[in-house]
A and B are shown apart, each in its own frame.
Chain A
């Protein structure tokens, strides 16, 4: 009996030792990817977690600055043509070499993924890809296109050999999920686990962790509990309610950083009869006060942003006055976050002819952004006190975004007044300007997420001009001007705050916060 016991202990010790040397890392994640197909859905968690398996021509560092990826260099060779020189000696996970054919194939495939909820067409439409030789690709556009490299840093490159003719499900099952990244895809069991294993032949040197296990844990307290119990080595999306307590806990280390995401309100500025704008007693109206810029300004003034940051976000957010925070390209120093001034708001409402107020319903997701549902409630409190009785309806993100984008008649946005967030994937101001504020036009890829249908030709012209301006300083000024018109003059959207993200690791590990909110295992460092 004793012998068995000793053997058992020795066995356990061996196993434990093996566990350490195997260097497996387990991460509890708040948001699960919706597919392993890198072009199915332009969604934060997909773009983040799939970066373990696939790579981009141009990569972004933790502050979203550009650095070489599968392309070693890029430069414009004429007004409208960019040349990308590809990295030599890179191998796909199936052993075949990476060439220009794969890049051209990716560009044609990524715009045409069936049933894509949010397509990468935004970044690829209007660009023509041409193979020059095995390691050179030319991309041509109609007009000068200074943001070429920035936009190419959003597209994950897939293998032509493995993915030709493949459907999204072939990726999810792993058959077509062949990348060049530091990790190979092993399996994805929806709601339970995503597993990656080390790519020993990685061009950038042998990755540190032999295996990555991602555990989707959507309930915030459960995620924290898993971290404290040692079930996982790291979690993302540390809930704001627990940050203070966790700071004092020696079993975890926190890292925190501002993100590229602004949380804001969209207001219906198109329909005269907006479905969720009512009179004070809840009866439908034929007039839509949200179309009046003074009403929008008044709403913005009724919102006590510092109070939301302090009480709802527990101090972990930054009040916002525009689309990107001050470290980002295109931020304008002339726009500050709107001051809380209920008296002035009341006066302005009266001036606009809505002194008696009107009724609103705010719609928002309840599992997408940090404390999203609570922010909606806080805004309803503030508006109700300001004379606009507001109801709150929140719902899970998969229902919410479908309805908010195209739940109404003729696939128009269903709601009147909504809470949303936008993370600038390009790391500068053109992405939110183009998607949220330019006049909705499907053929041009403009206003793709403009759910309030704000429209001002003056601002559209500034954005279009900025996108074709090669000189950085001139482009910066144009983007700033566009922001000043769209937000400062028009109140096209009401910015609330910039999200700040928090990660927790066990002692001995360090993770540097990323502005793009991604959780990347290859960036986890071992510290003594």
Chain B
């Protein structure tokens, strides 16, 4: 009889029952080879971004060392400083490889920072709306609706036109654009959760609102947030690239990936392909990697898809 009991303890997916939730999550995630490849891609990109100043052959943001006499060198040619430009130089004489490393740094910083802060803001607002309900909920959600009814790029353009240029300003613009998505997502989940017994129980214990919201409600709303968060980081990166491509957002002397692509676009018809193709590939690689991870997270964390 004991044997049958131990058998029923085996998970329907065929995994041993003694795994911790995290181990289980990891093993679920790794079932998809594509997702693992995506995760490795994200890791590579993140490492390059973090260590850019140490692994770049030159510092593309130091105007004292960048020289226009090096401009538009083809891949493999040597620059005046003696460094070989492995993937060529751009129109201002910056080494493309170094520029892409540094550009990746800006893109990821902007994506991650704006995504994270927008998540915090969105979560606070969304949870408040769901937990208190009634007029508070209506008011907050109408603001969210209003914001979501405008295209993200339009809001960002207007904001940057008034704020001016700079990494900090582009992060602010992207937070304003993104928080509403998080608010809406977390509210949806929280509305379901707050009707459950454990919240009622917590309320009966006369716990403070803050404690109930953050210690009980929030942890149970996390899975969809993680998914939306990942996708939003990829969105933020591509939005930043779009804004830079349009020539607003970042200063011209510190190009991010989008600005590098935009600079190269001028040379597309004259055969100097390397100025925009390579940053384009890096941007594509980054966004695809993050999205692959995001897709898999959605599958793994969605209870409805549990096999």
Task: Give which listed residue, A224, A244, A308, contacts B68 with CB less than 8 A.
Answer: A308
Q: How far is the CA of A224 from the CA of B267 in the complex (A)?
A: 11
Task: Give which listed residue, B63, B68, B247, B266, contacts A221 with CB less than 8 A.
Answer: B266
Chain A interface residue count, Cβ-Cβ cutoff 8 angstroms: 31
Interface string of B260-288 (1 = CB under 8 A from A): 00000111111110000000000000000
Task: Give which listed residue, B69, B271, B272, contacts A307 with CB less than 8 A.
Answer: B69
Q: Which of A239, A241, A308 has the most chain B CB atoms closer than 10 A to its own CB?
A: A241
Minimal Cβ-Cβ distance residue in B for A245: B270
> Restricting to A354-389, which residues have a CB under 8 Å from any CB of B?
366, 373-374, 376-378, 380-381, 384-385, 389
Q: How far is the CA of A366 from the CA of B247 in the complex (A)?
A: 9
Find chain A residues with CB under 8 A from B66 CB.
381
Q: Number of A-B pairs whose CB atoms are under 8 Å?
A: 69
Least CB distance from B34 to A in Å reads 35
A187 at interface, CB cutoff 8 A: no
Contact A393 B165 (CB under 8 A): yes
Contact A385 B270 (CB under 8 A): no
Interface string of A217-260 (1 = CB under 8 A from B): 00011001100100000000001011011000000000000000
Minimal Cβ-Cβ distance residue in B for A396: B247
Find chain B residues with CB under 8 A from A228 CB.
269
Q: How far is the CA of A305 from the CA of B140 in the complex (A)?
A: 58
> Restricting to B198-255, which residues have a CB under 8 Å from any CB of A?
247, 251-253
- 7 sample A-B contacts, Cβ–Cβ < 8 Å, listed by A number: A311-B68, A311-B69, A374-B92, A380-B63, A381-B68, A392-B253, A396-B247
Q: How far is the CA of A366 from the CA of B250 in the complex (A)?
A: 13
Kindly list the 3 A-B residue pairs having the minimum CB-CB distance in the complex, ordered from nearest: A384-B63, A311-B68, A245-B270
Least CB distance from B252 to A in Å reads 6
B71 at interface, CB cutoff 8 A: yes
Minimal Cβ-Cβ distance residue in A for B265: A221
Interface string of B66-99 (1 = CB under 8 A from A): 1111011000000000000000000111000000
Task: Give which listed residue, B72, B92, B272, contacts A377 with CB less than 8 A.
Answer: B92
Query: What class of interface size applies to chain B in its complex with A?
Result: 20 to 34
B305 at interface, CB cutoff 8 A: no
Interface string of B139-176 (1 = CB under 8 A from A): 00000000000000000000000000100000000000
Find chain B residues with CB under 8 A from A312 CB.
68, 71, 91
Contact B266 A239 (CB under 8 A): yes
Task: Give which listed residue, A224, A307, A380, A385, contacts B253 with CB less than 8 A.
Answer: A380
Known contacts A376-B252, A381-B93, then 18 further A-B pairs from the complex at CB < 8 Å, ordered by chain A residue: A221-B266, A241-B267, A242-B269, A245-B270, A311-B69, A312-B71, A366-B247, A377-B253, A378-B92, A380-B253, A381-B63, A384-B63, A384-B64, A389-B63, A389-B64, A392-B251, A393-B165, A393-B251
Q: How far is the CA of A242 from the CA of B69 in the complex (A)?
A: 19
Find chain B residues with CB under 8 A from A389 CB.
63-64
Least CB distance from B159 to A in Å reads 15
> Restricting to A263-297, which residues have a CB under 8 Å from any CB of B?
none
Minimal Cβ-Cβ distance residue in B for A382: B68
A391 at interface, CB cutoff 8 A: yes
A394 at interface, CB cutoff 8 A: yes
Least CB distance from B33 to A in Å reads 40
> Restricting to A439-453, which residues have a CB under 8 Å from any CB of B?
none
Q: How far is the CA of A471 from the CA of B158 in the complex (A)?
A: 56
Minimal Cβ-Cβ distance residue in B for A366: B247
Find chain A residues with CB under 8 A from B252 CB.
366, 373, 376-377, 392, 394
Contact B247 A245 (CB under 8 A): no
Find chain B residues with CB under 8 A from A242 CB.
269-270
Find chain A residues with CB under 8 A from B69 CB.
307, 311
Find chain B residues with CB under 8 A from A241 CB.
91, 266-267, 269-270, 272
Find chain A residues with CB under 8 A from B68 CB.
307-308, 311-312, 378, 381
Residues of B within 8 A of A (CB): 63-64, 66-69, 71-72, 91-93, 165, 247, 251-253, 265-272
Interface string of A503-527 (1 = CB under 8 A from B): 0000000000000000000000000
Least CB distance from A407 to B in Å reads 12
Least CB distance from A33 to B in Å reads 22
Contact B64 A311 (CB under 8 A): no
Contact B266 A391 (CB under 8 A): no
Minimal Cβ-Cβ distance residue in A for B247: A366
Q: How far is the CA of A374 from the CA of B264 in the complex (A)?
A: 13
Q: How far is the CA of A307 from the CA of B165 in the complex (A)?
A: 28
Q: How far is the CA of A378 from the CA of B68 in the complex (A)?
A: 6
Minimal Cβ-Cβ distance residue in B for A386: B64
Least CB distance from B61 to A in Å reads 11
Q: How far is the CA of A183 from the CA of B72 in the complex (A)?
A: 44
Task: Give which listed residue, B67, B72, B269, contacts A381 with CB less than 8 A.
Answer: B67
Contact A311 B71 (CB under 8 A): yes
Q: How far is the CA of A245 from the CA of B67 in the complex (A)?
A: 24
Least CB distance from B17 to A in Å reads 61
Contact B270 A311 (CB under 8 A): no
Interface string of A15-43 (1 = CB under 8 A from B): 00000000000000000000000000000
Q: How far is the CA of A393 from the CA of B252 in the complex (A)?
A: 7
Least CB distance from A252 to B in Å reads 11
Q: Which of B66, B93, B265, B266 has the most chain A CB atoms closer than 10 A to its own CB?
A: B266
Known: A378-B92, A385-B64. A244 touches B270 (CB 8 A): yes
Least CB distance from B144 to A in Å reads 32
Contact A225 B269 (CB under 8 A): yes
A153 at interface, CB cutoff 8 A: no
